[in-house]
Amino acid sequence: MKAAYTGTFDPITLGHTDMITRASAMFDELVVAIARSSAKNPLFTLEQRVDMAERALAHIPNVRVCGFSGLIIEFARQNGVTVLVRGVRNNTDFDYESQMARMVKHLAPEIDTIILPPTAKYAHISSTLVREIAQLGGPLTDLVPELVEEEAKSRPWES
């Protein structure tokens, strides 16, 4: 069975990599589908986000990383994905993801969604907070893979 874990991954965090590692054990293939998400005005380009994710996840043999734009259900259909994996850290995430799962089921009855909670030690991590810390020159240790921390440190942040 093929699943997809989708998001903007701006940037990929240790919470994401933990979720991907856990989900990859449940499926024959897990596609990490990174959304272009122009509306979110990401700090890293789609190409940079895909590259960082590919390097961070290279040790997991049944994980493939790719970028996409448009509806996730169209991506899923084009790639033979029958399950979407979503992570939730809190009640707000759960409410949003539940609504999205119901909409996916309405638009694409052949696609299921599973919702996974984070491992406790990563439940506080969000890409939004990581971006803010990075922009202010703070430490990203224990929040993101080392290669992402290096990428963030080498980035010329606007003040």
DSSP assignment of 123-134, as one string? TT--HHHHHHHH
Q: What is the pLDDT of residues 81-140, one digit of tens each?
A: 999 999 999 898 899 999 999 999 999 999 999 999 999 999 999 999 998 998 888 999
Question: Is residue 98 annotated as part of the catalytic site, yes or no?
Answer: no
Q: What is the pTM of this model?
A: 0.91
Confidence of residue 54 (pLDDT cuts 50, 70, 90): very high
> Which residues belong to the annotated binding site?
8-9, 16, 40, 72, 86-89, 97, 122-128
Q: What is the pLDDT of residues 63-72, one digit of tens each?
A: 999 999 999 9
DSSP line for 72-121 = HHHHHHHTT--EEEEE-SSHHHHHHHHHHHHHHHHH-TT-EEEEEPPPGG
- Residue 159: per-residue pLDDT: 47
Q: Which of 16, 24, 49, 131 is catalytic?
A: 16
Question: Is residue 59 annotated as part of the catalytic site, yes or no?
Answer: no
Question: Is residue 127 annotated as part of the catalytic site, yes or no?
Answer: yes
Q: Domain spans of the chain? A: 2-154
Question: Is residue 105 annotated as part of the catalytic site, yes or no?
Answer: no
The CATH code belonging to domain 2-154 is: 3.40.50.620
> Which residues belong to the annotated binding site for substrate?
8, 40, 72, 86
